[in-house]
């Protein structure tokens, strides 16, 4: 299948390599540009450092405190940056649950992106934590896809599209336009699938059994035959 990969460039290349190995033809079509903000972190000290994305763990933000984070990828990035990883959770909600099991409020430096849900810091602050937030990077929507991608969409040369977050799915829907309902949509989670269903009437939607890229790749393989599309 010929598949649009909507992840930012740094992550899209890895996904494209996996798709190629499985016999598909990936087309890199990022919907977001990632850029550091240059924000300065306060001096501390802190009991913990919090990160929900590996992108937030830039070398300039290394702090002498244990790291608690979302996802094994973020944990691995933290170790490479010199952090001692104290805890990892699959999502921000469960990370907050784990942190709030400790009855005593603590101080934390939260390294985050500008575009995010505020649930994590809101819950911790409501429980008496001091959370110093530093917006390390910004994820800005691209204005348009290159002409060759738009031509391939218009000519029916794209079979499907991979979606990794609700926000990126919404942006992809705007960029794809009237071709959106004609594509197969492979979604990382039910939340992403709901956005795909809501935007412009997409009807061919598949959702990974778990929110991991491994499960997403399995999903694509499972449904290739049902879509009647041969691999390249």
Q: How high is the pLDDT of residue 226?
A: 62
Q: How high is the pLDDT of residue 116?
A: 85
Q: How high is the pLDDT of residue 231?
A: 40
Q: How high is the pLDDT of residue 103?
A: 63
CA-CA distance, 42 to 196, in Å (whole number)? 39
Domains located in the chain, CATH noted:
2-31+142-224 (3.40.50.10090), 35-139 (3.40.50.10090)
Largest CA distance in the chain: 60
Structure tokens at 32: 């977001």
Alpha carbon separation from 128 to 45, 52, 110 (Å, rounded): 17, 20, 15
Reported for 118-126, long-range contacts at CB under 8 A and 24+ positions apart, including other chains, are 119/92, 119/93, 120/50, 120/52, 120/92, 120/93, 120/95, 120/96, 123/96, 124/96, 124/99, 124/100
CA-CA distance, 68 to 98, in Å (whole number)? 10
Q: How high is the pLDDT of residue 100?
A: 93
Alpha carbon separation from 88 to 52, 94, 101, 103, 183 (Å, rounded): 10, 9, 14, 19, 35
* Beta pairing, strands 130-141 & 107-113: parallel
Q: How high is the pLDDT of residue 227?
A: 63
Per-residue pLDDT of the chain (232 residues; tens, 9 = 90+): 999 999 988 788 889 999 999 999 999 999 999 889 999 888 889 999 999 999 899 877 778 899 999 989 899 999 999 999 999 998 899 999 999 987 688 999 999 998 888 899 999 999 999 999 999 999 899 999 999 999 999 999 999 999 998 999 999 999 998 999 999 999 999 999 999 998 867 679 999 998 888 999 999 988 876 665 444 3
Structure tokens at 21: 């190995």
Q: Are 213 and 18 in contact (CB under 8 A)?
A: yes
Q: Minimal CA–CA distance to 1: which of 19, 17, 20, 25?
A: 25
Structure tokens at 60: 């300039």
* Beta pairing, strands 67-70 & 107-113: unpaired
**DSSP SS3 for 146:** coil
Radius of gyration of the chain from Cα atoms?
19
| Full-model pTM | 0.74
CA-CA distance, 113 to 121, in Å (whole number)? 13
Q: How high is the pLDDT of residue 202?
A: 64
Residue 176's Cβ-side half-sphere holds a number of Cα atoms within 13 Å equal to 34
**DSSP SS3 for 25:** strand
CA-CA distance, 78 to 72, in Å (whole number)? 10
């Amino acid at each position: 299948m010929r598949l649009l990969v909507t992840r930012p460039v740094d992550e899209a290349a890895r996904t494209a390599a996996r798709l190629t190995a499985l016999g598909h033809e990936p087309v890199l079509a990022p919907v977001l540009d990632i850029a550091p903000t240059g924000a300065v972190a306060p001096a501390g000290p802190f009991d913990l450092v919090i990160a929900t994305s590996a992108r937030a763990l830039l070398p300039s933000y290394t702090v002498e405190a244990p790291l608690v984070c979302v996802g094994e990828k973020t944990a691995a990035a933290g170790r490479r940056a010199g952090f001692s990883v104290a805890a990892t959770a699959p999502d921000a909600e469960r990370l907050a649950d784990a942190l709030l099991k400790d009855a005593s409020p603590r101080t934390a430096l939260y390294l985050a992106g500008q575009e995010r849900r505020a649930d994590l810091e809101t819950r911790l602050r409501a429980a008496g934590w001091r959370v110093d937030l530093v917006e390390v990077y910004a994820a800005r929507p691209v204005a348009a896809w290159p002409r060759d991608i738009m031509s391939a969409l218009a000519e029916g040369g794209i079979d499907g599209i991979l979606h990794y977050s609700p926000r990126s799915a919404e942006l992809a829907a705007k960029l794809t336009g009237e071709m959106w309902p004609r594509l197969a949509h492979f979604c990382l989670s039910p939340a992403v699938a709901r956005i795909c269903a809501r935007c412009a009437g997409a009807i061919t939607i598949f959702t990974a059994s778990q929110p991991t890229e491994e499960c997403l790749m399995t999903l694509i393989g499972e449904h290739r035959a049902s879509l009647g599309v041969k691999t390249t």
